[in-house]
Amino acid sequence: MRAWLRRIEALGACVLLSAVLAAQDPAADEVASLFERGRWREAYEESTHIESQLLRAQWRFHVLYAAGNLPDALAAAREGLKLAPDNLELLHNAALCCVTLGLVEASEQTIERWRSAIDTPALAAAQRADWESKLAPLEQATRALRATETDANAASTRARRVIGAGLVLCVALLVALALAPRRRAHAD
């Protein structure tokens, strides 16, 4: 599962790079250059100079995600979503991060928002199909996460019941053992 998420992340970074390199400020060009060379810390520091808050949030997500700092990458995507709540790229980024981190409820909420943004009439059919193809594997992963969480909760409940029954049995045996010598003493 992690392999396809990394491929999606790499594809997303390539799409972002190609889309923003065409017309952006010099700071974003420098971030792109540092990003391509794997110089994450410098790219992140340079991202503070990007004028567009939305572009800054997108770059911060990609830099942090590529560097492996998933909690901060998610925070960067969410920061961008405060500025543009229906931004498909940021919704994709946030959903990808939520799934990778195993945050079931956050993933479900983000995917629901993403689905609503995809279903807007303003989106062309070809674009809608492209975004839906990106959404489908993350929806599937989210369902798998939910199923795993449900199974884990059920197993935890069963384990607590077994432990409780074992504890009751131990207490009953201890009480029986404690009373057993008294019965022998009374019988003599």
Query: Residue 23: what pLDDT?
Result: 53
Of 75, 71, 135, nearest in space to 101 by CA: 71
Distance CA 94, CA 78 (A): 7
CATH ID of 2-144, from 3.30.70.20, 1.10.4000.10, 1.25.40.10, 3.30.750.24: 1.25.40.10
* DSSP assigned state of 23: S
Q: Reply yes or no on whether the pLDDT at 36 is more than 50.
A: yes
Residue ranges of the domains in the chain?
2-144
Smallest Cα–Cα separation from 122: which of 147, 156, 88, 155? 88
> What pLDDT was estimated at residue 15?
46
Q: What percent of the chain has pLDDT over 70?
A: 83
CA 159-162-166 angle, to 5 degrees, is 140
